Amino acid sequence: MARDLDPRQQKHLPFRNQPIMVFSSLAPARTTEVYDAYWRFATERQRVFRLRAQGAPPPWTDDPILNQYKFTNAYRAADRVSQYLIRRVIYKGDQSPAEIVFRILLFKLFNKIATWETLQRAFGEIRYDTFVPKRYERVLDKELAERRSIYSAAYIMSSGRALYGYSRKHHTHMRLLSEIMADGLPDKLRRASNLREVFLTLRAYPLLGDFLAYQFAIDLNYSTVIDFSEMEFVVPGPGALDGLSKCFSDSGGLSPADLIRLVTERQQVEFEERGLQFPDLWGRPLQLVDCQNLFCEISKYSRVSHPQFAGIAGRTRIKQHFKSSGPLPKPLFPPKWGLNDRIG
């Protein structure tokens, strides 16, 4: 059954040198039953994560869909690749801004742990001050020649063939990385006043569209180079847009980003109305980027739980199946969040 969700006037936090922006819906946003599933999915997925983090043995849930298929965590920073990025890439190695930014961008261009470890085996400590693009390209050429994938399927990086003329995508990306670093990105980031400015700085580079620039901004914000709130703004990705189309039969005149903000700000009310005890991230509520990701995940989950909702993508099945890797290592989050001492 649809339910009215009246956001009234949505006041967004002002950014420096920008006027306060006030958003008002044309009519109450109307939700569907998938919206109810969104909150139940978020609670159960986070409960599974907490149980695994505590070393509890399986089964971790009696939800047949969660047992069968693979879904990212409710919190983006708790996900396997983000955890590897935080633990093994950002906070391991030289902590100078240039080296941190270089490591993050190199890792995220491929977003694949196996690729990072291949480069580590080839070069030892990965450093910007010894980076020679051609050497990295040759290592990755060999991986492809041996039929090993070097890119994650989580998102698609443009090949940029028309821009640089290279026939191989990773050659283009090594050229792009070299140009970004030579352009002084670390210094630009340190001069940024807010997360939106970081996003716009990244967005100005070739091949980085809105969604990728936003995701890279979030990853850089895990580091000590910048420190901004994840509640500043959000850029919905294609999966989140599909999830929103299933959760809302009428947006009430709000943009997708404004709907995500509204949902994020209402989280406590939504959990309480459903009698759900959400096991948060050791005191950290869901942030805009987390709720954005959850819309992407409910888009997948509902293909099985609510197949009558086609969404805008029209996809009907979930491709990745869940395979347990056993108990999770103790999570590690950016020290500036103040969470690591709370984890039992």
Token pair, residue 178, equals 């070299």
pLDDT score of 5:
61
Residues 330-339: what's their mean pLDDT? 98
321 contacts 70 by C-beta, under 8 angstroms: yes
Taking the alpha carbons at both ends of the chain, their separation in whole angstroms is: 40
Distance CA 296, CA 72 (A): 9
What is the residue-wise DSSP string for 23-45? EE-SS-EEE-HHHHHHHHHHHHH
Beta strands in the chain (DSSP E): 3-5, 9-11, 22-24, 29-31, 248-250
| pLDDT at 6 exceeding the cut of 70 | no
* Residue type (1 letter), 102: F
Phi, psi of 26 (to 5 degrees): -75, -25
pLDDT score of 160:
85
CA-to-CA separations, 344 to 17, 50, 66, 268, 338, in angstroms, rounded: 42, 10, 25, 24, 14
Mean pLDDT, the chain, whole residue set: 92
pLDDT score of 7:
46
pLDDT score of 8:
44
pLDDT-based confidence at 10, cuts 50/70/90? Answer: very low
What pLDDT, in 10s, does the model give residues 74-102?
A: 999 999 999 999 999 999 999 999 999 99
Distance CA 97, CA 90 (A): 10
Cα angle value 36/238/113 (rounded, 5°): 100
pTM, full prediction: 0.91
What pLDDT, in 10s, does the model give residues 17-62?
A: 443 333 444 468 999 999 999 999 999 999 999 999 999 999 999 9
Closest to 249 measured CA to CA, from 40, 36, 42, 44:
36
300 contacts 69 by C-beta, under 8 angstroms: yes
What pLDDT, in 10s, does the model give residues 294-318?
A: 999 999 999 999 999 999 999 999 9
287 contacts 74 by C-beta, under 8 angstroms: no
> What is the residue whose two structure tokens read 């890119």?
151
Token pair, residue 332, equals 């590690």
Q: For CA atoms 268, 236, 289, 33, give the dihedral sign.
A: positive
The alpha carbon of 4 is separated from its chain's Cα centroid by a whole number of angstroms, namely 29
126 contacts 93 by C-beta, under 8 angstroms: yes
Distance CA 341, CA 16 (A): 33
Share of the chain above pLDDT 90, in %: 85
| pLDDT at 171 exceeding the cut of 80 | yes
Phi, psi of 16 (to 5 degrees): -55, 135
| pLDDT at 4 exceeding the cut of 90 | no
In the chain, domain spans:
38-77+233-342, 92-220
- Of 3-7, 151-155, 264-268, the range with the lowest mean pLDDT is 3-7
pLDDT score of 322:
93
Closest to 238 measured CA to CA, from 193, 295, 158, 194:
295
DSSP 8-state symbol, 266: T
- Of 52-56, 133-137, 211-215, the range with the lowest mean pLDDT is 52-56
